[in-house]
Amino acid sequence: MDKELAQNRIENLRKELNRHRHAYHVLDAPEISDEAYDSLFEELLTMEKQYPEFFSSASPTQRIGAQPLKAFKKVRHANQQWSFDDIFSFEDLKSWEEKILRLIEKTKIADDRLLITKNNTTGIKEKVISHQSSVIDLEYCCELKIDGLKMILTYEDGIFTGGATRGDGAIGEDVTSNLRTIQSLPLQLNEKIDATMVGECWLSKKELKRINEERKKEGLAQFANTRNAAAGSIRQLDSRIAANRKLDCFIYDIDRIQSSAIGNQSLVNKGEEKKDDGLFVTDDKIIQTQVEELELLKKMGFKVNAQYRLCRSIKEIQEFYESWTTKKDKQDYEIDGIVIKLNSRVLQQALGYTGKAPRWGVAYKFPAQQVTTVVEEIGVQVGRTGALTPVAHLRPVCVAGSVVSRATLHNEDEINRLDVRIGDTVIIRKAGDVIPEVVSVIKNLRTGRERKFQMPISCPICGGKVERQETGIKSQRAKENAKNSMQKESAAHYCLNPKCFAVEMGQLIHFVGRKGFDIVGLGESIIERLMSEGIISNFADIFDLKVGDLEPLERFAERSAEKLVDSIEKSKEISLEKFLYALGIRHVGEETAVLITANLKLLTDQKVQNLNDVIEIFSKITAQQWQGVKGIGEKSAESMVEWFSKKENIELLKKMELFGVRIVESSNGQLVGSKLTGLTFVLTGELADFTRDAAKDMIRREGGNVSSSVSKKTDYVLAGQEAGSKLQKAQELGVKVIGEEEFLKMLKD
């Protein structure tokens, strides 16, 4: 960057930061997130160091200093370990409280312990609880959500005897030796009790910096964030390494407690549904609330995060939440939201749990992390369907713990909506594993040298004709925009050349993928090399590969060539649904392929036993017949007819049969059991003991159906860790949610 451009950039950054500082501190009307502001601040700080000749005492960087740098044994938990459902806005918070009120009204608590009245003059619900003649206002205990690892701690007679990770909620890993190295974790309590406590193990930002500096000197990779470092530390086989990392913890829950003082009676057991009050006693005092429980934990000798608040309305909760969106970065530990719990243990016990989460609590997450960067170029990727996707090439920037240099722009309509130009300073966001996306453009930082982007009129890969076509909305952001503007469709550009290298390569990658032929060792880079060398050009060519075809390729030794050929040979037997999915027919995904296989008897009396049967049967089925199968729509039907009507596709199938590809009995057409017959399942989240694909196969083998979306017709939602919107939809519709343990029990019964 020449000095004139640098000076202009520095001056514009100063103006923009001062404007946002005034809006935030004076007008109390922030326009961008704190994280986006900090990103601009860091850029200015870097540029002022790079160009000291443009120093100014009036620069925002002179007001404050720079921001601080930010194989085990399996063990079964005594009680199921829950995780809270997530909300992201005040509207979500209001909806959650309304749901709580409906559940309370629906729940019948004996002895008149619950009373809900309505103020007829104000129309505002007054919520109170009556317990043994004492009246308690309905309250919420709000605690900070520490970004660490959940730990379950066991004490016997007041002595720490073991600790484990959460795992899948039922089974975790024994990490006792590493937990013992945490200085803030008491090895002996102030009271002789048998108990299970729950807390969060975390690493300080200061400690992360020290560890990364040491790893840098040793030539080791840096930890991206404190959570990753904590996870890596707690799972060290050598506890001396964990001890050197100086882990810390906060304890926030008593999962189970027994006291020999009253006959070893179990006084609280949150992990099970019980008919009692869910209260427990200490020193002749009844512990009735979450706040009292936290105080008891402190009395026992645990380190409890002091930043919790008792709130008597969701307005107070929102104020607490907003205060921590600005204070969270000043703590020496990472915070990713607040946890809201009904303070009354009577209500907690009465409302109980869903298949995954407590009904009486929720996690209010902070906004997705946002930073600013510059769009250095906009490129175009071509997918297996021929769709052209514009991608922003960014000045590399760290967001949500990882360095990002690209972000999707979805399509031309999204570029026009955002008015993104090459050279623009943009705000990007990334939450979890979601692909980074451009949120908005900071237009005040434009210099006039920015360039508008135009979608190409010819394919950037093959030079073929490109056509704009209406298409279903794919991205969540596009869906939200469409909903707000009452649009139901967006448009994408497609390469019309079916022989385009990018299209063919994408199709081959899809074909050999895990849900298709699952050819181990035949990845994207190898496919690209084989295509570039002219060794393969279509599906059938893969099954004719010989060791001699592969050995001449660079870095392809004889042994690796033999392994790949052996892997291809093993893949030649495939079920019909996986075969149909592998073909990559447009609008025919995994579930449609399963529907086709399961309903073949409605379409033909013939059995599909080889590829010749596929050719003979599928070539004769009309679009109207396909649509006669429940769940197969117009687009899928038309695509099936079009694909099987093309001569070149039929020739491919014939060649594949010649090379030994065989259709084996489908798990749907030939059921081995009927324990789940007629039941429809939806899967969400990450399963611990088996993959979601394996779970789908189990369901189908027992006569069940798998759907990709939740509706009133759904019988069960199988939820794993990090379950998303499908779980929330199930709870709203009253669909039963089950975990892995209950699912496996259904298969055994």
Nearest alpha carbon to residue 140 among 365, 360, 366 = 360
What's residue 58's pLDDT?
65
Burial per residue of 114-150, b for 16 or more beta-carbon CB atoms within 10 angstroms, e otherwise: beeeeeeeeeeeebebebeeeebebbbbbbbbbbbbb
Cα dist. 381→42, 142, 394, 412, 494 in Å? 31, 46, 15, 13, 11
What's residue 482's pLDDT?
41
Q: Which of 62, 79, 96 is the last residue of a domain?
A: 62
* Gap between the Cα atoms of 430 and 266, Å rounded: 45
Has residue 112 got a pLDDT over 60? no
| Whether residues 307 and 434 fall in one domain | no
Burial per residue of 656-677, b for 16 or more beta-carbon CB atoms within 10 angstroms, e otherwise: bbebebebeebbbbebeeebbe
CATH code: domain of residue 651: 1.10.150.20
What's residue 646's pLDDT?
92
Q: How confident is the model at residue 697 (pLDDT cuts 50, 70, 90)?
A: confident
Inside any domain, residue 134:
no
What's residue 280's pLDDT?
53
| Whether residues 452 and 377 fall in one domain | yes
What is the three-class DSSP state of 642? helix
Whether residue 673 contacts residue 634, with contact meaning beta carbons closer than 8 Å, is answered with no
Domain count, the chain: 6
* Gap between the Cα atoms of 712 and 649, Å rounded: 39
The H or E element spanning position 24 is helix 3-25
Q: Which of 19-23, 168-172, 369-373, 619-623 has the lowest mean pLDDT?
A: 19-23
Nearest alpha carbon to residue 340 among 166, 146, 145, 98 = 145
pLDDT in tens, 531-583: 887 788 889 999 988 888 887 776 677 778 888 999 999 999 999 989 999 99
The H or E element spanning position 195 is strand 193-202
Catalytic residues: 145
Q: How confident is the model at residue 429 (pLDDT cuts 50, 70, 90)?
A: confident
What's residue 319's pLDDT?
93
What's residue 434's pLDDT?
58
| Whether residues 554 and 593 fall in one domain | no
| Whether residues 9 and 145 fall in one domain | no
Nearest alpha carbon to residue 597 among 664, 659, 695, 672 = 664
Find tokens 């300080």 and name the residue.
204
Nearest alpha carbon to residue 416 among 448, 461, 453 = 453
| Whether residues 459 and 588 fall in one domain | no
| Whether residues 351 and 286 fall in one domain | yes
What's residue 452's pLDDT?
94
* Gap between the Cα atoms of 43 and 6, Å rounded: 12
Q: Read off the tokens for 54.
A: 């443009």
At position 45, the amino acid (one-letter code) is: L
Has residue 135 got a pLDDT over 60? no
Rg (CA), the chain: 30
Whether residue 441 contacts residue 418, with contact meaning beta carbons closer than 8 Å, is answered with yes
What's residue 263's pLDDT?
39
What's residue 132's pLDDT?
40
What's residue 134's pLDDT?
38
Whether residue 178 contacts residue 236, with contact meaning beta carbons closer than 8 Å, is answered with yes
Has residue 517 got a pLDDT over 90? yes
| Whether residues 344 and 383 fall in one domain | no
At position 358, the amino acid (one-letter code) is: P
Inside any domain, residue 68:
no
Has residue 29 got a pLDDT over 70? no
Whether residue 504 contacts residue 459, with contact meaning beta carbons closer than 8 Å, is answered with no
| Whether residues 319 and 437 fall in one domain | no
**Mean of per-residue pLDDT scores for the chain:** 80
Inside any domain, residue 258:
yes
Higher pLDDT, 178 or 591: 178
Percent of the chain with pLDDT over 90: 27
Domain region containing 445: 369-482
Find tokens 């860790």 and name the residue.
721
Whether residue 166 contacts residue 175, with contact meaning beta carbons closer than 8 Å, is answered with no
Find tokens 């990753």 and name the residue.
228
Has residue 5 got a pLDDT over 80? yes
| Whether residues 172 and 296 fall in one domain | yes
What's residue 62's pLDDT?
62
* Gap between the Cα atoms of 519 and 569, Å rounded: 9
Inside any domain, residue 432:
yes
Helices (H), ranges, 51-138: 90-106
Burial class (CB in 10 A: 0-12, 13-18, 19+), 398: middle
| Whether residues 339 and 385 fall in one domain | no
Q: How large is the average pLDDT for residues 36-51?
A: 86
Inside any domain, residue 350:
yes
* Gap between the Cα atoms of 458 and 464, Å rounded: 5
At position 637, the amino acid (one-letter code) is: A
| Whether residues 579 and 558 fall in one domain | no
The most confident of the ranges 175-189, 448-462, 521-535 is: 448-462
Which residues in 304-386 belong to E strands, given as ranges? 309-311, 335-342, 361-365, 369-382
Inside any domain, residue 496:
no
Q: How large is the average pLDDT for residues 492-496?
A: 88
- Name every residue whose Cβ is closer than 8 Å to that of residue 315 and which is 6 or more positions away in sequence: none
Has residue 390 got a pLDDT over 50? yes
pLDDT in tens, 263-288: 344 444 554 433 334 445 554 456 78
Q: How large is the average pLDDT for residues 695-706?
A: 81
Q: How large is the average pLDDT for residues 392-421?
A: 86
CB neighbourhood size of 328 (10 A): 20
pLDDT in tens, 49-85: 899 888 876 677 765 433 322 367 888 888 888 888 8
| Element counts in the chain: helices (H) and strands (E) | 27, 32
pLDDT in tens, 139-155: 999 999 998 889 999 99
Q: Are strands 335-342 and 361-365 parallel, antiparallel or unpaired?
A: antiparallel
| Whether residues 563 and 584 fall in one domain | no
Inside any domain, residue 382:
yes
Q: Which of 58-62, 507-511, 513-517, 531-535 has the lowest mean pLDDT?
A: 58-62
CATH code: domain of residue 8: 1.10.287.610
What's residue 21's pLDDT?
61
What's residue 342's pLDDT?
94
Q: How large is the average pLDDT for residues 180-189?
A: 83
